[in-house]
Amino acid sequence: MDFPNSELWTYSTQIWTLPEVETICLELQNNYDANINMLLYCCWVGDKNLNLNDDDLQTLLDAVQPWQIIIKPLRDSRKMMQQHLIAMPAEMVDQTVSNMSEMELNAEHMTQLALEKALKPEKISPCESMGSIECSFSNIKAYINSLDSISSVNEIMPQIGQLLTAIFQDEEAVQMAMMSNA
The whole-number pLDDT of residue 128 equals 87
Q: Which residues contact residue 119 at a Cβ distance below 8 angstroms, ignoring those fewer than 6 apart?
A: 56, 59, 60, 63
**pTM recorded for the entire structure:** 0.92
Question: How far apart (Å, rounded) are the C-alpha atoms in residues 132 and 116?
Answer: 19
Could you read off the pLDDT of 69-83 as tens digits, one per residue? 999 999 999 998 888
- Taking the CB of residue 46, how many other CB atoms lie within 10 A of it? 27
Question: How far apart (Å, rounded) are the C-alpha atoms in residues 40 and 18?
Answer: 13
Question: How far apart (Å, rounded) are the C-alpha atoms in residues 99 and 91?
Answer: 14
C-beta separation of 74 from 107 below 8 A: yes
- Taking the CB of residue 31, how many other CB atoms lie within 10 A of it? 13
The 3 state secondary structure assigned to 128-150 is CCCCHHHHHHHHHHHHHHCCCCC
Could you read off the pLDDT of 117-172 as tens digits, one per residue? 999 999 999 998 899 999 999 999 999 999 888 888 888 999 999 999 999 999 99
